[in-house]
Amino acid sequence: MDGILLVNKPKDFTSHDVVSVLRGILKTKKVGHTGTLDPDATGLLVIGVNKGTKIMKFLNSDEKAYQASVYLGKTTDTLDNCGEVIKDEPITEEIKDIEAVLKTFVGDYTQTPPMYSAIKYKGKRLYEYARKGIIIDDIPSRTINIKEIRQTSPLRDIDQNYKIFDYYVHASKGIYIRTLSYDIGKKLNVPAYNYSLHRVIAGNFNVKDAFTLDDIRAGKHKIIALSDALSIFPSIMINEKTLSRVLSGMSLYNKYSITDYARVIDKDNNLIAIYRYDKEKDLLLAENVFYTKGDYNGNY
């Protein structure tokens, strides 16, 4: 039971809550996740199980896509449904050019992480300051690349004199959708916050292939093999000589034309190790080796 498990996270669960539940269901402590989702958010959570936790770092930089809703007319201190309203301006005029505004975010987009976030500032999480009422004025901004953003529903009433609409966004890692929804409202000249959030894509993984916690409790789930989870990397099929070097963590000559990372696999597609290309040495160096000489009994 080593690999990646795709979970469709329910609302009101933290990502850590999901990990805790899975440790009980799968009866292993070696469970971790990549790409945290807020408790109010739902959707795709990528989980590493046993040796799968060792490849999480290779999945952490993946692009992600979300389906979100933006509430127009109010802003909260957390920029989502969980916070206190700090600005309230009922919509009295027609809101125009939503699609045109969304298009302005395509490409490099600089945003400041919200105060209620896990970003560290001088050794503490930002939310630790926020809970004490301390506002940090010089939070470092970050530049995100947005590949695609589009409106997916008409503008509609949600409360008297307040509006909402849905949008889809596909962006590089590190984006805060709460901040994006707020910034969309800012460009529309109205207060705004993120009303709902559902992650649909993380790298090569899609929420359509994810399992609910109930599915997993019932055993109706599938764990993605380590090698398949890293199919974005080229593979090196080992022979007996290569296997001995790999299990010892020794370097390999780059006769495979590898330019970044590579999977070392056996005939059954078991992941033996991950190697990376060192341009200066012109060698492949062991990044992670998943077996020792004593515990490997695969087919090469």
34 has which bridge partners?
46
The CATH code of the domain that includes 39 is 3.30.2350.10
Q: Which residue did the predictor score with more confidence, 285 or 160?
A: 285
The Cα angle at residue 169 between residues 231 and 4, in degrees rounded to 5:
30
Residue 82, pLDDT score? 87
User: Tens digit of pLDDT for each residue in 230-247?
Assistant: 999 999 998 888 899 999
- What is the total count of domains within the chain? 3
The one catalytic residue in 2, 38, 166, 183 is 38
In a domain, 45, yes or no: yes
183 and 130, same structural domain?
yes
Cβ atoms 298, 246 nearer than 8 A: no
The arithmetic mean of pLDDT across residues 94-110, rounded, is 96
| pLDDT of 149 over the 80 cut | yes
pLDDT digits (tens, 9 = 90+) for 157-205: 998 899 999 999 999 998 999 999 999 999 999 999 999 999 999 999 9
214 is annotated as an active-site residue:
no
Burial class (CB in 10 A: 0-12, 13-18, 19+), 212: middle
pLDDT recorded at residue 118: 67
Q: What is the pLDDT of residue 292?
A: 87
The fraction of the chain above a pLDDT of 70, given in percent, is: 97
Looking at the domain assignment, is residue 113 inside a domain? yes
Owning domain of residue 245: 233-289
Residue 260 has φ and ψ, to the nearest 5°, of: -145, -110
What mean pLDDT comes out for the span 99-116? 90
What pTM did the predictor assign? Answer: 0.90
What digits encode the pLDDT tens for the residues 22-61? 999 999 999 999 988 888 899 999 999 999 999 999 988 7
The CATH number of whichever domain residue 240 belongs to comes to 2.30.130.10
- Whether the pLDDT of residue 117 is over 90: the answer is no
Question: Where would I find the beta strands (DSSP E) of 22-114?
Answer: 31-34, 42-49, 64-72, 74-76, 85-88, 107-111
What is the rounded average pLDDT of the residues 93-115?
92
**CA-to-CA separations, 74 to 67, 159, 181, 185, 213, in angstroms, rounded:** 20, 11, 12, 9, 34
What is the reported pLDDT for 123? 77
Assess if residue 277 is contained within a domain. yes
Distances, alpha carbon 136 to alpha carbons 64, 79, 186, in Å: 28, 16, 20
CB of 146 closer than 8 Å to CB of 107: yes
Q: Which of 158, 160, 135, 172 shows the shortest CA–CA distance to 71?
A: 158
End-to-end CA distance of the chain: 21
Reading the block at residue 258, the tokens are: 């590898």
Position 297 in a domain? no
Residue with more model confidence, 148 or 174 = 148
